[in-house]
Amino acid sequence: MERLNPEKLYVEFESGVTTTDPIQGRKYTLTHSDITADLFLTIGLEFAYDEINEMRDEVLAVWQTYEGRPILYVYVYIGQYDPITTAIRDTIFRRELPLALEAIRYGDSELFTKYPELGKAPIWISFNSTNQDYDKFEYWGTMNDYE
């Protein structure tokens, strides 16, 4: 771990998931506190929409299957703002995504222990924006890159 402080990460498993199952459809909602720098990771079968605030600075991720292999699909909302705000949000998300991926990897470590092949799963990130310059879909390595 390069940036993650495990003492600042709080993990909650919702009903229907355990520390190791299921994989398919397992969803992550990562939010944070600007005041304390605490990270809050909710792992469930649904996204924790009740944890999302009006800033829309959460990171959402879900395990999916593509061509028979697992992938981690990550979604961030860059949004529909003026060009300067959109550029700032894009910069911040790109700077903080490695920390977010470390938090998911660390917070769900028992899953990766039980299923080590998930560490080799590709990460695809959807940067969602109404501005075409920031509306992107990118490969960001594998989960092993964030341990």
Residue 25: CATH number of its domain:
3.40.20
Examine residue 29 and state whether it is found in any structural domain, yes or no.
Answer: yes
Range of the domain at 130: 6-146
Q: In total, how many domains does the chain have? A: 1
CB–CB of 29/128 below 8 Å?
Answer: no
Q: What is the pTM of this model?
A: 0.94
Contact 50, 65 (CB under 8 A): no
pLDDT at 14 exceeding the cut of 90? yes
Burial 51-78 (b: 16+ CB within 10 A, else e): eeeeeebbbbbbbbeeeeebbbbbebbb
In a domain, 79, yes or no: yes
Residues 83-109: pLDDT tens digits?
Answer: 999 999 999 999 999 999 999 999 999
Q: Is residue 49 one of the residues assigned to a domain?
A: yes
Is residue 105 included in any domain, yes or no?
Answer: yes
Within-domain flag for 1: no
- Which tokens go with 75? 């979604």
What value does the mean pLDDT take over residues 7-16? 97
In a domain, 20, yes or no: yes
